[in-house]
Structure 1
Amino acid sequence: MTTAVAAPFRFFSLQVTGTRRLGPSLVRVTFAGPDLLAFHSHGHDQSLSLFLPHPGQSEPAVPYELGDGWWQAWRELPDGVRAVMRSYTLRALRRDACGNTAEIDVDFVLHGVEPGSAVQAGPASRWAARAAAGDRVVMLGPAVADNRAIRFRPPQDTDLVVLWGDETALPAVSAIVASLPAGTRARVWLEVRDAGDIQDLATEADAEITWLVRQGHGGDGSPGSPDSPSAPGSPAALQAIRGARLPPAEHPYVWIAGESGCVKALRRHFVRERGIDRRRVTFVGYWRQGLSEEQLREAE
């Protein structure tokens, strides 16, 4: 494959080397390949895009010459042939001591793959549920360490870090919390669909972490989009955060990511109700209730 650089990003040809189930709704897939030697990132919420094959395809169908017009070229491929594209957050990047090999972890949210599920599984969930060593994907990711797909950028004077994310933001929040130095005050909320998805988060920070379990505790039970978690618990998240007392801080920094409707509501709360400077609130809509990623991109 010819991989043209669209600086600061490029395309990487990867293979699955292993999978590990993290909980009822989460699976971690590890990828490797020589191309990863050119992958660089120093961000803790590094966004990237994966191109996945359809059943029966040995590799995803993407344009071989990938420059500035790759999006239109990809869109013009026939339906059912064109690779499935989904956005994810890097969970971990590992290199060997000599820098000769590298691998990455990406965590997938599974929904609709359970027998008898009322939610229809999307193509990314189906792919991740059956991923096995040797499966091939293509990734659009950073070729430079500091790039615009990194959003967590607290100002130097930050004296309190506030985080909220649903399960789609769990990899980013986990990496952010692990990166916080000792003595950093942090207040963290994480919302997941099932109690079995709760994880132990390693950190040296003075972090108070609250888990909100959505199953039976908020959400209307309606299905989400074909490749998004079901029933985001925006009311539950707002209720929990509105009722919380934040530690006193002169220069707080807020990072919120997940379902876009919930993210917008939480941003309004922090800016309007708590009076936090909007320039110190980073908000990222990873997905939108009722829309696939293709529909969301078209809408944007």
Structure 2
Amino acid sequence: MPTAATVSPFRFFALHVVRTLRLGPSLVRICFGGDELRDFHSHGRDQSLSLFLPHPGQEEPAVPVELGWGSPRSSEAESGGGWWQGWRELPDDVRAVMRSYTLRSLRTDAAGATYEIDIDFVLHGVEPGAAVPAGPASRWAADAAAGDRVLLLGPAVEDNRAIRFRPPRDTDLVVLWGDETALPAVAAILETLPAGLAARVWLEVRDAGDIQDLVTDADAEITWLVQDGAEISPMALGALREAQLPPAEHPYVWIAGESGCVKRLRRVFVQERGIDRRRVTFVGYWRQGLSEEQLREQGD
């Protein structure tokens, strides 16, 4: 476990691909390992991570030298903002691709040290003839192989601000909605819910082949919505407006996925259903028509 000497709740981890598993037409699970994972600690749920990926032809992601593979970990470099500026100053076609993901799961040894983590990737546009070509992260994930190197910015303490799912203690109903980018978070959240807690879940995926068997001890009713080329927002709005939720005095809502859709769904719960806005957590994982680089330029 981290000690009081831990400077920051987050640090960099040099990792490599251990194996990959295709989960469906649009989803692939990649297992990462590395000695530095012994200092990786997380309570799970919707734990957010930043992943740095190499460009084609690079053996490892290009980052400021003090963060690279084989460099000793410096608490000052990792907790300060200097690395960000150094990363931004690298040429666009050299600088590591940075993308945000959710921890799907982790595995620990008998001593409690993490030795593997799983991250699920959505593969957009990698199929032949795709209307919108794949971005660099999807292309990397589609071709990832054992031994490929990445850099991860992740948690060094279990309870950290990159976990957003935080239902109040009096919660008697959990309502979840997510598109396929939020599916790993929803799956991890469900695994943490206690037996008997009522949960109503809506998940949107692009293809019926992406539907998964999810595990939970909660009294959960899970509804899968297959987009099949449909717009995501009308599908989710209609389903949630028509849904009969079980009676509850203290519901808690968590919604994550495409930013515009998330905002519209929040209005359904707060304005139409009258749920206290303080009990609604909403997270925009992506925005239609914009890359993660463009979102950062706008400050999102």
TM-score (norm 1): 0.92
Give the Å deviation of 1:73.
1.2
Paired residue for 2:225, among 204, 207, 212? Answer: 212
Counterpart AA for 1:7: S
Paired residue for 2:126, among 99, 104, 113? Answer: 113
Distance 2:21 2:176 in 1: 26
Would you say 1:128 and 2:141 are equivalent positions?
A: yes
Determine the structure 2 residue equivalent to 1:184: 197
Once the two structures are superposed, the pairs formed by residues 211-250 of structure 1 within 5 Å of their partners are 211-216=224-229, 218-219=230-231, 233-250=232-249
Paired residue for 1:142, among 151, 155, 167? Answer: 155
**CA deviation digits over 1:104-150, x for unaligned, max 9?**
00000001111111121100000000000000000000111111000
Give the Å deviation of 1:101.
5.5
Counterpart AA for 1:207: A
Aligned length: 282
Distance 1:76 1:54 in 2: 16
- Local SS of the residue matching 1:175: helix
Determine the structure 2 residue equivalent to 1:60: 61
Aligned residues with identical type, % of pairs? 79
Counterpart AA for 1:140: L
8 Å contact 2:44–2:188 — kept in the other structure? no
Aligned pair in 2 of structure 1 residues 12, 175: CA closer, same or farther (>3 Å)?
same
8 Å contact 2:178–2:186 — kept in the other structure? yes
Distance 2:202 2:50 in 1: 25
Once the two structures are superposed, the pairs formed by residues 6-45 of structure 1 within 5 Å of their partners are 7-45=8-46
Give the Å deviation of 1:43.
3.1
- C-alpha RMSD of matched pairs (Å): 1.1
Distance 1:72 1:140 in 2: 15
Once the two structures are superposed, the pairs formed by residues 257-268 of structure 1 within 5 Å of their partners are 257-268=256-267
- Local SS of the residue matching 2:212: coil
Give the Å deviation of 1:6.
6.3
8 Å contact 1:91–1:172 — kept in the other structure? yes
8 Å contact 2:20–2:31 — kept in the other structure? yes
Distance 1:50 1:104 in 2: 13
Determine the structure 1 residue equivalent to 2:73: none
TM-score (norm 2): 0.92
8 Å contact 1:34–1:101 — kept in the other structure? no
